Chains A and B, each alone.
Chain A
Amino acid sequence: MNTLELQKTANEIRKSIIKAVHSAKSGHPGGSLSATEIYTYLYFEEMNVDPKNPDKADRDRFVLSKGHTAPGYYSTLAHRGFFPVEDLTTLRHVGSYLQGHPDMKHIPGVDMSSGSLGQGISTAVGMALSAKLSNDDYRVYTLLGDGEIQEGQVWEAAMFAGARKLDNLVVIVDNNGLQIDGNVADVCSPYPIDKKFEAFNFNVINVEDAHDLEELARAFKSARACKGMPTAIIAKSTKGKGVSFMEGECKWHGTAPNDEQKEQALADLEKVGEALCQK
């Protein structure tokens, strides 16, 4: 896909996030919207995956360590063809396979169940290690929140990945700057994030704009070229990106839009889509 097509896809994914969370009357739109381009780039460009054969052995793996942003993940998987887009509005409903947090046993394309913060990165490290043990050449990607890296387990996993030189592992930190209780810098500052990963023997790439698909492309290409150490991509993003009243607002971390807010959000995204069509 070219950049414009990726941008249009990301915008469609954003609309699905809003519809899914609205339908669930709960869920996490803020961090789903901040990571939308990351999801889009991974699943439409970067990763070797096959929606018709989601369990194929040589596929690249993805672990959503910040599992609460499942709406973004599911919307991406659905638009990529792993399951019907229509199913997204069953999110969090009783009997739906689309659980509040990723469930590998029931959701096509989900490589690992996750949601308890700090745990996903360890499982991704395990997958990357496993590939090394059997000389498989698949790559493993994991997406963390910037609040999530307050969890000590993240640094246990980072220490191990650095020590084992797992160059088939890419850790992405969605640095939207907000967590439930406020600004990450105020709650318990994780900064400097890049220097921390450097100290844990990672190849660190700072992405200034996580919504710029060309910058993301450069970052992932550079990660692929790096040998002998794992890569951490620290991606500065805007929480709630694309929806005017959600952008940079902490309260949209885990709140669903009501009917009116949903319409307003979709209208915002419609405008973005129209602008993209003019390009």
Chain B
Amino acid sequence: MSEVKKIATRESFGKTLVELGKEHDNLVVLDADLAEATKTAMFRKEFPERHIDCGIAEQNMMGIAAGIAATGKVPFASSFAMFAAGRAFEQVRNSIAYPHLNVKIGATHAGISVGEDGATHQCNEDIALMRSIPGMVVINPADDVEARAAVRAAYEHVGPVYLRFGRLAVPVFNDEETYEFQLGKGIVLREGTDVTLFATGLEVNESLIAADLLEKEGISAQVVNIHTIKPIDEELIVECAKKTGKVVTVEEHSVIGGLGSAVCDVLSENYPTKVLKIGVNDVFGESGPAVELIKKYGLDGASIAEKVKAFVK
């Protein structure tokens, strides 16, 4: 088997900003002293005059982004998810989302796959926070191909968008030639009949691995990539629940308020279904290599397969 290419989605974010910067003069990138880590440094190199380093002041950065958007330009404000969605939550809510300004928030280093930095920097709450804000679009791409398409879609969309990217290099499983990103539309990656795994971000690939393992156990799992958590693809979620009866959600995020909750919101109103939520279980993370943490917190393919097996039997 050939080696699968691995790329961190923050890298995809940085590259696409450069491409978009060449195409659009009105694109401005903001960062808060993390340009190397968030990968906006790529944009800074090409367009130093349109890269604004706000210093270590995320709240002010979000306000500046709002002001820039109010004058007709399209700012991408970037920081770690912890600070973009966490520290600056109220600025995002009041200065950006309430006036529905055209600001794109590029949040990198989301989830426990931040790794060694540990709990203070591992944001497992950002999806919950951002999807609670009226009018906010929330996108959590799964690999490089999807992330690049998502950044472009975010630029095209008029209104605030929260983009969630990872630090860890993750396998590129989407085919660049055939891949199509549609905002708010889930993608069925694998057909199955016993259970549907709705996954997002780096957990999409882990869910595909889990589905392979489950197949060996005689369990047919459908795998659906939910890259857009808000607005969520209600139609597809209900359709899959009707087809497979049982539903599992998989995310590198708290089981409170994230993809699992969003799927339950849809199903409880439209087609009550038993749902197993796999994610970070109402605990803080810890330091360690990302891949080891993903295993420890039960978010790798094998752990997912075990939980799904117990759930469907």
Contact = CB atoms under 8 A, between A and B. Distances in A.
A130 B71 contact: yes
Interface string A141-157: 00000000000110011
A123 interface: yes
A94 interface: no
A126 B66 contact: yes
B60 interface: yes
Interface in A60-79: 61, 63
Contact of A129 (B57, B68, B94): B68
Contact of B63 (A105, A130, A157, A163): A157
In the complex, which range does the number of interface residues on chain A fall in?
Answer: 35 or more
Contacts of B59: 118-119, 122, 152-153, 156
B67 A105 contact: no
B64 A104 contact: no
A202 B28 CA distance: 25
Interface stretch (B2-10, B47-55, B119-127, B228-236): B47-55
Contact of B54 (A112, A128, A160): A160
B66 A112 contact: yes
Given A105-B99, A123-B63, A133-B28, A156 B57 contact: yes
Interface in A129-143: 129-131, 133-134, 136
A139 to B, nearest CB: 13
B67 A130 contact: yes
Contacts of B91: 119, 122, 153
- By DSSP majority rule, is chain B's interface helix, strand, loop, or mixed? helix
A63 B66 CA distance: 12
Contacts of B95: 112-114, 116, 119, 122-123
Interface string A173-202: 000000000000000000000000000000
Given A160-B54, A160-B57, A122 B64 contact: yes
Contacts of B54: 160
A59 to B, nearest CB: 10
Interface string A242-272: 0000000000000000000000000000000
A123 B57 contact: no
Interface string B36-51: 0000000000000110
Contacts of A223: none
A129 B99 contact: no
A172 interface: no
B72 A126 contact: no
Contacts of B55: 156, 159-160, 163
B49 A133 contact: yes
Nearest to A57: B72
Nearest to B88: A153
B73 to A, nearest CB: 6
B63 A111 contact: no
A122 B52 contact: no
A124 B100 contact: no
Contacts of B52: 129
B98 interface: yes
Nearest to A106: B99
B70 interface: yes
B123 to A, nearest CB: 20
Contacts of B71: 61, 126-127, 130-131, 136
Contacts of A152: 59
B63 A126 contact: yes
B65 interface: yes
B90 interface: yes
Interface-centre pick from B68, B75, B100 (highest chain A CB count, 10 A): B68
B240 interface: no
A57 to B, nearest CB: 7
Contacts of A114: 95
A273 interface: no
A246 to B, nearest CB: 29
A126 B59 CA distance: 12
A133 B50 contact: yes
A113 B68 contact: no
A128 to B, nearest CB: 8
A20 interface: no
Contacts of B65: 126
B219 interface: no
A126 B90 contact: no
B64 A129 contact: yes
Contacts of B66: 112, 122-123, 126
B60 A153 contact: yes
A204 to B, nearest CB: 20
Given A105-B99, A159-B55, A125 B72 contact: no
A73 to B, nearest CB: 16
Interface of B: 28, 49-50, 52, 54-55, 57, 59-60, 62-73, 75, 90-91, 94-95, 98-100
Given A122-B66, A156-B55, 5 more contacts: A113-B98, A119-B91, A124-B67, A126-B63, A153-B91
21 contacts: A103-B98, A104-B70, A104-B99, A113-B95, A116-B95, A119-B59, A121-B63, A122-B66, A124-B67, A125-B63, A126-B75, A129-B68, A133-B49, A153-B60, A153-B63, A156-B55, A156-B59, A159-B57, A160-B55, A160-B64, A163-B55
Which 6 residue pairs of A and B lie closest in terms of their CB atoms, listed nearest first?
A126-B67, A122-B63, A156-B60, A126-B64, A156-B57, A123-B67
